[in-house]
A and B are shown apart, each in its own frame.
Chain A
Amino acid sequence: MDFNDTPEEAAYRKQVRAWLEENAPKAVARPDDPMEDSNDMRASRAWQRKKAEAGYACITWPKEWGGGGGASWQSVIFGQEEAKFSIPGNPFAIGLGMCVPTVMTAGNQADKERFVRPAVLGEEIWCQLFSEPSGGSDAAAARTRAVKQGDEWVINGQKVWTSGAHYSDFGLLLARTDPDVPKHKGLTMFWIDMKAPGVEVRPIHQMSGASNFNEVYFTDLRIKDSQRVGSVGEGWRVALVTLMNERLSVGGGGSGSGHARVLKLARDISTLAGPAIKDSGLREKIADWFVQAEGLKYTTFRTMTALSRGQTPGPESSIGKVVSASLMQDMANTALELEDQFGIINDPKLAPLSAAFQASLMAAPGMRIAGGTDEILRNIIAERVLGLPQDVRLDKDVAFKDIPTGR
């Protein structure tokens, strides 16, 4: 057990830090939500290009595709060091984390040559078009239809929960090509141009007031057969590649400083029994939160250790989001209770800590759902980590068109 870098890691960290000192943008005003504000886009693109040119974008990807040709542990160290700087938001995460790796795994040679490098350089942004109104957790229930007409496919339907669709150049689309076979077998993957006629993007107004996601409508969108990623009917297999990458990128760490914020709040607030910080009920909660947040932090250290030893990380990294999302919600609720009647104010100029807990309270429900609901993540732990059987499925051997649908 050692928190210190190996000599090799230390040397790499030093090199990265020196490069960041020299090149990282100084004091960029960072929006609350990096995905939201396109004013920041120019700065984001410039930073991405700078990293790509130095080999620090997509560190683990081969150099011939614009990557750094490095190891996973190098990528982790770069991420740690980069996070210490005030860098612009990262609208490239979904493309580089999920879509482009899918093209690299399942796409044809021409597509790889066309798309990978511009994405690494931050010139082109991708979104992922899987979820639909009829299937959030059940992504294989996609109904968006793709019908073959000569050398083209005609797309009609609707996607939802598409992060960044409003500023994306391309999208990875999962569509139904054969409704007469069971659902997993009738899907095909395509890439589409988000600016093409027949694509309409409408932002979703979330309960928090933010708009991180969109609905995307397709009306007689015509695409070429060469835009197919993988074979006809193989869409689900291709989607699994994408989803596996999604869990790696969304799964991450905890809200490490939350308990410190509650401590600060508790020091400034008084209750009937004196300063809130003296309240034993609150102190117990703070201890519980601390232990969870630290547990997540050290779990990521275990994952990094496996990477730096050249091993495959164990399944423990799958617990990240399911713990951190509820942790955020619990802390926010308790903090507002502490603020008492004042807690109802959601104005950063008036509410304690610039209304940070009010913001968490409104963002937490989305955190517990996006990127796999708490329930789906528990199923995944139970099935893939513990080896328990899948639930009974009524839709497995039924033609997709005959599967009962509710709302």
Chain B
Amino acid sequence: MDFDFSDDQKFLKSEARKFLDARCPVSVVRGVLDDPARSYDEGLWKAVGEQGWLGTAIPEEFGGLGLGGIELCAIAEELGRALAPIPFASTVYFVTEALMLAGSQAQKAKWLPKIAAGEVIGCFATVERPGTLGEAQAQARVEGGKLTGVKIPVTDGDIADLAVVLAKEAGQTALYLVELGGAGVTRETLKTLDPTRGVAKLTFEGAPAERLGEAGEGLSLAEAVMNRAAVLLAFEQVGGADRALEMAKSYALERYAFGRQIGSYQAIKHKLADIYIKNELARSNAYYGAWALDDGAAELPVAAAAARVAASDAFWFAAKENIQTHGGMGFTWDVDCHLFYRRAQQLGLVAGGAKAWKERLVSQLERRNVA
């Protein structure tokens, strides 16, 4: 039994925290929040690339560090704590994972080294309308290598160089690689709940598209990518939830009402205990997901769904109760609580909401139960 980060992984994690404490203080997050023209912090993105984090799980032959999914989880947790305003998840958890799952040797050789070097930002473009990802979300069409259709919302679609797009060709769904700098692509930046992450509407009119993986496997590949992303996002969520709890705790110790610290009242103590409980349940489920990412392919669908459901619930709860603990100051622009509240929603929805993941989880359990 070895159900924790190893010493090397813990070292990587503490180095990542030190780095982000120095390079991603909350002023960096607010710098993106307060400037409508920016949707990420270019300096931080560059620095993260120089650290080699973008290539953490990319094999050495493609210019990465060749480490495993668990190392990536360790970094993800720290990025989540720091509310890092960079397109890390889109590029690394989605596009890189998609390339590694389904890419041909040539596709990997073309893109992975550039991603690892920080030269390419990726985005994952699947949905087209409100509701769960499914057949109806793949109205975009590919004919003769040209993509036509609309994808909305696409996180980091406003700044990305490369999109992985779900579309249909001859009635079959597939994933496609599309270079967003090329012809036939227009993008429109959207107003979102979490302006520290950019989101766009992508319109394709005969944009050159290259299939990634087999025809007919678009939806199943998208789900496979989302399973992997769900685990990594869960670590970001756990990191954010832990920091929200720390904020609430500090405030409860500093703030006095009726002659004593508000943290001495059971109404506050029990609230924070409940946050702690949810955070620990989420962390434990996330660890199981991390194990499945590297070693338990058969268990991944259940592990990913459980990690996602627990982490989405924990971050949401921690973020909203952190505001509540701060009282009136908690809902001002100047106090940082809303940054966590926004990010909790962003992370909770970006790979599909908890409701859909619960359904996936129970379907898997039914199958397991019947088998």
Contacts and interface: CB of A to CB of B under 8 A. Distances in A.
Contacts of A9: 1
A305 B283 CA distance: 15
A316 B3 contact: no
Contact of B3 (A283, A304, A388): A304
B2 A295 contact: no
Interface in B238-261: 245, 249, 252-253, 260-261
B282 A295 contact: yes
Interface in A319-337: 319, 322-323
Given A391-B265, A391-B266, A283 B359 contact: yes
Given A263-B369, A382-B269, A291 B306 contact: yes
Contact of B269 (A2, A304, A378): A378
Interface in B257-286: 260-261, 263-266, 268-270, 272-274, 276-277, 280-285
Contacts of B268: 388
B273 A283 contact: no
Contacts of A292: 281
A280 B355 CA distance: 9
Size class of the B contact interface (CB-based, 8 Å): 35 or more
Nearest to A316: B280
A320 B365 CA distance: 23
Interface in A289-321: 290-292, 294-299, 301-302, 304-306, 308-309, 316, 319
Interface in B270-328: 270, 272-274, 276-277, 280-285, 287-288, 290-291, 294-295, 305-306, 309-310, 313
Contacts of A277: 366
A323 B266 CA distance: 18
A5 interface: yes
A294 B285 contact: yes
Given A2-B2, A375-B266, A385-B276, A286 B291 contact: no
Given A288-B309, A295-B280, A390-B264, A2 B358 contact: no
A385 B249 CA distance: 11
A299 B280 contact: yes
A39 B310 CA distance: 44
B285 A295 contact: yes
Contacts of B265: 391
B3 A1 contact: yes
Contacts of B245: 386
B33 interface: no
A71 to B, nearest CB: 13
Contact of A386 (B276, B295, B306): B276
Contacts of A382: 263, 269-270, 272-273
A378 B273 contact: yes
B362 A283 contact: yes
Contacts of B143: none
Contacts of A308: 1-2
A386 B272 contact: yes
Interface in B344-371: 355, 357-359, 361-362, 365-366, 369
A391 B260 CA distance: 10
Given A1-B4, A298-B284, A308-B1, A280 B359 contact: yes
B285 A386 contact: no
Contact of A387 (B249, B294, B310): B249
B70 interface: yes
Interface of A, helix, strand, loop or mixed by DSSP: helix
A392 B6 CA distance: 42
A395 to B, nearest CB: 16
A280 B361 CA distance: 12
A284 interface: yes
Interface in A343-393: 375, 377-379, 381-383, 385-392
Given A1-B294, A2-B291, A392 B264 contact: yes
Most A CB within 10 A of own CB, among B70, B274, B288, B355: B288
B273 A386 contact: yes
Nearest to A298: B284
Nearest to A282: B362
Contacts of A398: none
Contact of A1 (B70, B249, B269): B70
Contact of A283 (B2, B287, B358): B358
A294 B306 contact: yes
Contacts of A287: 305, 309, 357-359, 361-362
Contacts of A306: 4
B276 A379 contact: no
A5 B1 contact: yes
A105 to B, nearest CB: 29
Interface in B51-107: 70
12 contacts: A1-B2, A1-B290, A5-B1, A292-B281, A298-B287, A301-B1, A302-B4, A319-B276, A378-B269, A381-B277, A387-B249, A388-B253
- Nearest first, the 9 closest Cβ-Cβ pairs linking A and B are A295-B281, A287-B358, A382-B269, A298-B284, A378-B273, A1-B291, A301-B3, A381-B273, A388-B263
Interface of A: 1-6, 9, 73, 259-260, 263-264, 277, 280, 283-284, 286-288, 290-292, 294-299, 301-302, 304-306, 308-309, 316, 319, 322-323, 375, 377-379, 381-383, 385-392
Given A302-B284, A319-B277, A388-B264, 10 more contacts: A1-B294, A286-B365, A294-B284, A295-B310, A299-B281, A299-B284, A319-B276, A386-B273, A386-B276, A389-B253
